[in-house]
Amino acid sequence: MGKIMNREIFANLRAKLDKTQKALAELLGISLKAVQSYEQGWRSIPVHVERQLYFLIVNQRGDGQAKRKDCWTLKKCERKKECPAWEFQAGHLCWFLSSTRCECTADKNWKEKMTVCRNCTILTSLL
């Protein structure tokens, strides 16, 4: 993983969800044309669509649930009590939440945060 979501990753995740292009468009709240454009490589995939797609994959029923590990445990976090991931007991969703305290992501915008999170073992271990 570790790189910006491209058309192959997008299409593979759609297949992993077992959704048609139309069904995925409805789930993501975007147009069918947008999904088709992402898969053809005609349009870049916005970071908010990328995050939603990861969220669906991570929360899909099945053995993915067994892979979930809390970020504060894996990273031996000393700032966990200041972090929304700890507050909401969502250590496997730290990449999805704003204002997390690890790796200096608290002051980053979504695009910058996802650049850090794409390379983080918390997210990559879930996919």
pLDDT tens readout for residues 56-111: 988 887 655 666 788 999 888 888 898 999 999 999 898 888 888 876 666 778 88
Are 11 and 33 in a shared domain?
Answer: yes
Q: How many domains does the chain have?
A: 2
Rounded CA separation 84/72 (Å): 11
Average pLDDT over residues 34-39: 97
Rounded CA separation 8/1 (Å): 11
Owning domain of residue 8: 1-60
Are 73 and 51 in a shared domain?
Answer: no
